[in-house]
């Protein structure tokens, strides 16, 4: 959500910048609607001001014992017109709100202009993809062979795009969860939270998932409850409609949660294995900052996510997303892509975004220092990391010729073994 006054006063420039992300601002409808809305408000206000004055006059007259029947019926009459105008204003405001809510955030100046992932810019690369002296397998071969990943039975229990982990597969997931939470908690200063995995539509509106992306979500039937598509939603909304003490910012939170996505429209993409699931687990990093802090904190947050891959020894590259590839709420996004030998490609494992005040304005997250005026905070978040894809990366990168998988040093205390071998 944009600041209304700013948006209105800089309409041409804003529209030009949003065009770089392929969004066409309906400039004329916006102007026209805004004017109609303001005219209706002004008209209703005038009548209300008169009504209020009359009511006060009636109060005075009645105190003196005068008869006010006439005045009362006059005011009653005006009430009808006020009601009509209020109805009109309500309709216009709703229409206007919907229009404004659908407009994406402004990209940062440094964001490269582009139309697709091909235009993203690599900003750094870490680690060397390992040279195998055998043909590395994909996790969808390795996992079932080890007896730790069972997609057939998951399909029976639920359906396609769900996974059942056995034994070391389940333990690896749990080890990664604990490892990541400990790393971010101890080394990076994040406070661990465990939020609800079900949220209401107001929360989804706050983060920008609604109204536009209802189709990507699972909704609980006959309720206003939805399964979270990411911990970003409940964690960002922790402070919805609150004013934070600016002196205590940034606030850094991390959470491990399952994430549920309908993946509508992604049929045919990543159909094998567990790269794209309806349910996956993720450790999410979320920050609330003062406006002037967010750029720096965004860099830190991205580095915090990268630190997980470095600690595990997984090669990756970090991409600055172009205007056309960013999510609508973001003003700047880094994707971290891990090397997957089984696909012979870098694959997204984390997405770290600075939302500026866009989400804060929608969710009502303000900050205020002692004497200053309250202003909207900035919100940031990023995966630190997607656990399922980390699980995949470990299998594929650390596989041996015999099909076993060597556990990264840093993970061994969590896993309890230094190698995953086939389960009988």
Partner RNA sequence: GGAGGAAUGGGUGAGUGGUUGAAACCGGCGGUCUUGAAAACCGUUAGCGUCGAAAGGUGCUCGGGGGUUCGAAUCCCUCUUCCUCCGCCA
Task: Please list the active-site residues.
Answer: 261, 276, 348, 351, 389
Q: Contact, 276 vs 270, CB < 8 A?
A: yes
Q: Does 62 bind RNA (CB under 7 A)?
A: yes
At closest approach, how far in Å is the CB of 98 from RNA? 16
Q: Does 49 bind RNA (CB under 7 A)?
A: yes
| Residues 302-341 within binding reach of RNA (CB under 7 A) | none
Q: Does 372 bind RNA (CB under 7 A)?
A: no
Q: Which residue has the tokens 């005040």?
A: 357
Q: What is the DSSP string of 93-159?
A: HHHHHHHHHTSPPPPPTTSPP-SSGGG-EEEEEES-PPPPSS-PPPHHHHHHHHT-EEHHHHHHHT-
Q: Does 58 bind RNA (CB under 7 A)?
A: yes
At closest approach, how far in Å is the CB of 194 from RNA? 13
**Residue 17 neighbours by CB under 8 Å, 6+ apart:** 106, 107
- Beta strands 191-192 and 251-260, pairing class: parallel
How many residues touch RNA under the rule CB under 7 A: the total is 32
Q: Does 36 bind RNA (CB under 7 A)?
A: no
Q: Contact, 356 vs 158, CB < 8 A?
A: no
Whole-number Å distance between alpha carbons of 14 and 6: 9
Q: How far is CA 405 from the centre of its chain?
A: 33
Nearest residue to 385 (alpha-carbon basis) of 291, 280, 298, 288: 280
Q: Which of the stretches 33-41, 164-172, 176-184, 382-390 binds RNA when contact is defined by CB under 7 A?
A: 33-41
Q: Does 4 bind RNA (CB under 7 A)?
A: yes
Among 10, 20, 54, 310, binds RNA (CB under 7 A): 54
DSSP lists the bridge partners of residue 200 as: 225
Instruction: For the sheet with 242-245, list strands across it.
Output: 242-245, 365-368, 375-376
* Residue nearer to RNA on the CB measure, 32 or 45: 45
Q: Does 194 bind RNA (CB under 7 A)?
A: no
Q: Does 42 bind RNA (CB under 7 A)?
A: yes
Q: Which of the stretches 68-76, 105-113, 164-172, 395-403 binds RNA when contact is defined by CB under 7 A?
A: 68-76
* Residue nearer to RNA on the CB measure, 63 or 186: 63
CA distances (Å), origin 67, targets 53, 56, 64, 70, 72:
17, 14, 9, 8, 10
Nearest residue to 241 (alpha-carbon basis) of 77, 324, 362, 118: 362
Q: Does 32 bind RNA (CB under 7 A)?
A: no
Whole-number Å distance between alpha carbons of 325 and 302: 18
Q: Does 214 bind RNA (CB under 7 A)?
A: no
* Residue nearer to RNA on the CB measure, 58 or 406: 58
Q: Which of the stretches 56-64, 105-113, 175-183, 303-311 binds RNA when contact is defined by CB under 7 A?
A: 56-64
At closest approach, how far in Å is the CB of 343 from RNA? 40
Whole-number Å distance between alpha carbons of 55 and 57: 5
Nearest residue to 424 (alpha-carbon basis) of 33, 15, 147, 114: 147
Q: Does 65 bind RNA (CB under 7 A)?
A: no
At closest approach, how far in Å is the CB of 360 from RNA? 12
* Residue nearer to RNA on the CB measure, 4 or 121: 4
Among 20, 243, 279, 310, binds RNA (CB under 7 A): 243
* Residue nearer to RNA on the CB measure, 40 or 330: 40
Residues that bind RNA (CB under 7 A): 4-5, 37-38, 41-42, 44-46, 48-49, 51-56, 58-59, 62, 68, 71-73, 75-76, 79, 243, 370-371, 373-374
């Amino acid at each position: 959500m944009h600041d209304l006054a700013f948006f209105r006063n800089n309409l041409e420039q804003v529209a030009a910048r949003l065009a770089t992300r392929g969004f066409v601002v309906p400039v004329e409808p916006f102007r026209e609607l805004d004017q109609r809305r303001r005219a209706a408000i002004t008209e209703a206000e005038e009548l209300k001001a008169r009504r209020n004055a009359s009511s006060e006059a009636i109060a005075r007259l009645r105190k003196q014992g005068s008869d006010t029947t006439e005045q009362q019926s006059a005011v009653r009459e005006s009430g009808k017109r006020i009601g009509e105008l209020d109805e009109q204003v309500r309709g216009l405001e709703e229409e206007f709100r919907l229009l404004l809510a659908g407009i994406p955030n402004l990209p940062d100046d440094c964001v490269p202009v582009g139309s697709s992932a091909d235009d993203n810019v690599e900003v750094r690369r870490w680690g060397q993809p390992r040279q195998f002296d055998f043909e590395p397998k994909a996790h969808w071969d390795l996992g079932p062979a080890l007896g730790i990943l069972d997609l057939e039975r998951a399909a029976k229990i639920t359906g396609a795009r769900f996974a059942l982990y056995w034994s070391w597969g389940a333990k690896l997931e749990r080890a990664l969860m604990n490892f990541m939470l400990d790393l971010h908690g101890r080394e990076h200063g994040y406070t661990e939270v465990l939020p609800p995995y079900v949220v209401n539509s107001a929360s989804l509106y706050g983060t920008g998932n609604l109204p536009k992306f209802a189709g990507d979500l699972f909704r609980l039937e006959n309720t206003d409850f939805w399964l979270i598509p990411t911990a970003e939603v409940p964690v960002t909304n922790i402070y919805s409609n609150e004013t934070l003490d600016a002196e205590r910012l940034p606030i850094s939170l991390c959470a491990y949660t399952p994430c549920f996505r309908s993946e509508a429209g992604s049929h045919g993409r990543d159909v094998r294995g567990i790269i794209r699931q309806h349910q996956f687990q993720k450790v999410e990093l979320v920050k609330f900052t003062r406006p002037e802090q967010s750029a720096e904190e965004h860099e830190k947050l991205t580095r915090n996510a990268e630190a997980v891959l470095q600690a595990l020894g997984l090669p990756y590259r970090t991409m600055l997303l172009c205007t056309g590839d960013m999510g609508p709420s973001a003003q700047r996004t880094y994707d971290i892509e891990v090397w997957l030998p089984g696909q012979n490609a870098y694959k997204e494992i984390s997405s770290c975004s600075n939302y500026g005040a866009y989400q804060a304005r929608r969710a009502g997250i303000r900050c205020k220092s002692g004497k200053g005026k309250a202003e909207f905070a900035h919100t940031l978040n990023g995966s630190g990391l997607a656990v399922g894809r980390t699980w995949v990366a470990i299998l594929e990168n650390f596989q041996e010729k015999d099909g076993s998988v060597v556990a990264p040093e840093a993970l061994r205390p969590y896993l309890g073994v230094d190698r995953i071998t086939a389960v009988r």
